[in-house]
């Protein structure tokens, strides 16, 4: 993040907090006319599946949108008026400067899914928020780890339901 341009930092933080697909959803379909600040949602008309979807916006994502309000983007109503190729090239340059390999813009969707689970969301909720058609696909995005598994087992004791009498 430190070596990325400020506009790219903003885009990354937004994506990590929404889980939108970086090309079609984030850069093309996220339009001002489809954002409801009142309901904290963005309605995307066309997605990878060809169906519309609702993206829920947390306070971080809403703050970014509020800062960008009035930005005409690419003249087509897009919130972020950058082409996918511009963003991808800037991201590659930032990764190279930071010495990071094996990361793509799509990695932030995985981060979103993993963070959902780490913060207590169940797998079905993660599936719904990522708009996956199957739990198997969501499992690829949520990257379980041993600490989370240990913590889940320990919570049985903390809730008082782990003791057998």
Confidence tier at 105 by pLDDT (50, 70, 90):
very high
pLDDT at 159 (0 to 100) = 63
- CATH dotted code for 1-99: 1.10.443.10
From residue 20, how far is each of 3, 15, 138 by CA, in Å?
23, 6, 14
pLDDT at 144 (0 to 100) = 67
Q: Which residues contact 120 (CB under 8 A, 6 or more apart)?
A: none
What is the mean pLDDT of the segment spanning 35-49? 88
What is the mean pLDDT of the segment spanning 59-68? 95
> Between these two residues, 75 and 128, which has the higher pLDDT value?
128
pLDDT at 86 (0 to 100) = 93
pLDDT at 72 (0 to 100) = 62
Cβ neighbourhood burial of 118 (10 Å; 0-12, 13-18, 19+)? middle
Confidence tier at 119 by pLDDT (50, 70, 90):
confident
Confidence tier at 61 by pLDDT (50, 70, 90):
very high
pLDDT at 146 (0 to 100) = 75
Domain spans in the chain, listed from the N-terminal domain onward: 1-99, 106-158
Longest dimension (CA), the chain: 68
Residue 24, pLDDT > 90, answer no
pLDDT at 39 (0 to 100) = 97
């Amino acid at each position: 993040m430190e070596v990325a341009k400020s506009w790219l930092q903003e885009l990354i933080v937004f994506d990590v907090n929404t889980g939108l697909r970086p090309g079609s959803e984030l850069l093309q379909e996220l339009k001002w006319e489809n954002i409801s600040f009142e309901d904290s949602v963005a309605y995307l008309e066309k997605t990878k599946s060809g169906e519309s979807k609702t993206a829920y916006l947390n306070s971080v994502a809403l703050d970014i949108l509020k800062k960008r309000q009035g930005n005409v983007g690419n003249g087509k109503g897009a919130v972020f008026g950058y082409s996918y190729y511009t963003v991808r090239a800037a991201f590659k340059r930032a990764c190279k400067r930071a010495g990071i390999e094996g990361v793509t813009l799509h990695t932030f969707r995985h981060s979103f899914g993993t963070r959902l689970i780490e913060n207590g969301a169940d797998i079905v909720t993660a599936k719904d928020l990522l708009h996956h058609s199957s739990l198997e696909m969501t499992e690829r995005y949520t990257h379980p780890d041993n600490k989370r598994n240990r913590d889940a087992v320990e919570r049985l004791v903390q809730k008082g339901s782990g003791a057998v009498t």
